[in-house]
Structure 1
Amino acid sequence: MKETWILSMENPNNVGDDGGSDRPTIMVTNDDGIDAPGLQALVRVLVSTNRYRVWVCAPDSEKSAVSHSITWRHPLAAKSVEINGATAFAISGTPADCTSLGISKALFPSVPDLVLSGINIGSNCGYHIVYSGTVAGAREAYFYGLPSVSISYDWVGGTSNINDFTLAAEACLPLIHAIFVEIKNKTFPQKCFLNVDLPTNIPNHKGYKLTKQGKSIVKMGWKPVSSEAQGAQMLSTMTMEQNPVASNSNAKTESQEQLLFKREVKGGHVEDGETDYFYLKQGYITVTPLGALTHADIDCQSFFKEWLPPVADRCM
């Protein structure tokens, strides 16, 4: 592993230039971190085709469920790492940061032709798309008009194994090749990006299935915990400066024992109908076009169309 760190947004040496290859360029990111088996498998399979120039710009550690958060107040560090056949950097930021930096021409010498985010460990369907850092990695590219795809594998503990990521990457190749045909012809839609989920039994998948985002979500709850180690860890991340104004008040404070809570799974909900999660569980590779904006259902629009004017009149 190289120990090259880039601490600014400048790239005077054209880091990542491979001599002006005329092959199309794919940039890969994820949210599980640059060492994750899903990303490694995807890059390895892409490189093996010898059809693409492959760049990697991914988080230096796990950034799952960070959604579309970005780093704003401090610089990002980019560390060059060795991935056979690719030019790769580990970034001290979120998936959206990685995509933004990777397509900016500050780190690499040009803008990639396609951005792939994944392969994520676990599916990203329904409402979980909102939480997903993997989907955000593709969405960020879409914001800037670049074709992009987020890819997730429905990993199930005790059933799945690490080789499934290679099979998942290979199953995506026809889709990736077809996307490049549209990119070359300038016919790839610019009003969406794609979210792809691969079923657990990937060797026996039923093929591609065009779907729409559903409303599936794993119900989460909270339970109290009493671990001193957890408490110490939480204290270290919640240290706050004392408010000097408050310290001058006459209010008395009492030392209270900290309450600790941890998330727990309460169960899942899957709606009926032709949705992403439904078809994924049927064994299909689901392909779901997504946009940046979520529009309210028409019945909500109708309700508030009647509701808002009287409210506004009372404010006059």
Structure 2
Amino acid sequence: MSSGDRPTVLITNDDGIDAPGLRAIVRVLVSSDRFNVLVCAPDSEQSAVSHSVTTRNALSAKLVEISGAIAFAVSGTPADCASLGISKALFPSIPDLVISGINMGSNCGYHIICSGTVAGAREAFLYEVPSVSISYDWVGGRSNVDDFTLAAEACLPLISAIMAEIKKKTYPQKCFLNVDVPTDVVNHKGYWLTKQGKSMVKTGWIQVTSESEGGKMLSTMTMETNSSSYTEPGASRVKQEPFLFKRKVTELPAEDGDTDYASLQEGYITVTPLGGLSPAEIDSQMYFKQWLPGVAECFSSSAI
């Protein structure tokens, strides 16, 4: 990026290219008149796909009209879209910054593991392109689509500050940022630097009678014996429909301290630096440092 050029921002997400969060961040960036805006996002919802990538099939990229931006809808995952968008195969140059979001729902704690939104930013980071994932803590009955625009506007100073550091070549390259915006975005308490916590919505499973009853969280489990139920030898085989199960929330997260989830619930816009990997905690590392040398001695082939 030369001093006279506008920086280029690539937008992706996991809710799909038509999602209101993506359209809001694009609209705010375009309206600011500070950036060239590119979009490379999934053509359908890809929530909770984590960092899955497409390896066996070709991806299709279809030009989509989004005012002020050059946009493509891609038949792939968020990681696919980020990878394609920074590859120079789709666009002529590498963007200065990749933004993944704005996601409908927060991405804190252990949920970062399965988040397609975070994966979009992580993929860019792995290829040494600065990146940020942004999520809005959507709550049914309290939130509305206008909140995505408010969330984008609240994050604009942060995005501009990041871009200024990139321009000066002082932005750190060993992490990317995960940003969560609180539900009551109008009354947010400002930016707060946090660490990834351990919060997680715990779920169980209940059996349902149809896929429509299962909704988005449905998982189908089938019995393998050529679609038949298991029977004792010699007994007749009776064909059986697959058992259907859906996830059910059993416990909501609770966390204290300067973690992402706790600070988000207090009304802050949380800013959490992340790396490509999540190293084990130091006490676990010390345990295995002492444990590993004795493994071969205690369980050698001669002793088995």
Provide the TM-score with structure 1 as the length reference.
0.86
Give CA-to-partner distance per residue, 1:255-279, whole Å, 9 cap, x none: 3442211101112122222100101
Give the CA deviation at 1:239. Answer: 11
Which residue is equivalent to 2:246?
262
Distance 1:173 1:28 in 2: 14
Q: Is this contact kept in 1: 2:220–2:245, CA < 8 A?
A: no
Which residue is equivalent to 1:289?
273
3-state SS, counterpart of residue 194 of structure 1 = strand
Which residue is equivalent to 2:263?
279
Distance 1:215 1:91 in 2: 32
1:123 aligned residue (101, 106, 111): 106
Mark the CA change 1:99 to 1:240 in structure 2 (over 3 Å): closer, same or farther: farther
Q: Is this contact kept in 2: 1:76–1:92, CA < 8 A?
A: yes
Q: Give aligned pairs, total.
A: 290
Which residue is equivalent to 2:289?
305
Residue type of the alignment partner of 1:190: Q
Q: Is this contact kept in 2: 1:215–1:270, CA < 8 A?
A: no
Q: Is this contact kept in 1: 2:21–2:104, CA < 8 A?
A: yes
Which residue is equivalent to 2:122?
139
Which residue is equivalent to 1:315?
300
Residue type of the alignment partner of 2:172: P
Mark the CA change 1:258 to 1:195 in structure 2 (over 3 Å): closer, same or farther: same
3-state SS, counterpart of residue 109 of structure 2 = coil
Give the CA deviation at 1:92. Answer: 0.2
* CA-atom RMSD in angstroms: 2.6
Mark the CA change 1:261 to 1:75 in structure 2 (over 3 Å): closer, same or farther: same
Give the CA deviation at 1:101. Answer: 0.3
Counterpart check, 1:202 vs 2:182: no
Give the CA deviation at 1:236. Answer: 10
**1:158-169 correspondence to structure 2 within 5 Å:** 158-169=141-152
Counterpart check, 1:39 vs 2:22: yes
2:176 aligned residue (182, 193, 213): 193
1:58 aligned residue (16, 36, 41): 41
Give the CA deviation at 1:252. Answer: 8.0
Q: Name the stretch that deviates more: 194-203 or 218-227.
A: 218-227
Mark the CA change 1:163 to 1:134 in structure 2 (over 3 Å): closer, same or farther: same
Distance 2:5 2:277 in 1: 35
Identity of matched residues, %: 68
Which residue is equivalent to 2:194?
211
Mark the CA change 1:228 to 1:133 in structure 2 (over 3 Å): closer, same or farther: closer
Distance 2:176 2:254 in 1: 24
Which residue is equivalent to 2:81?
98
Distance 1:240 1:113 in 2: 49
Which residue is equivalent to 1:111?
94
Counterpart check, 1:225 vs 2:217: no
Residue type of the alignment partner of 2:210: S
Which residue is equivalent to 2:230?
none
Structure 1: any 5+ residue segments left out of the alignment? 1-20, 243-249
Structure 2: any 5+ residue segments left out of the alignment? 227-233
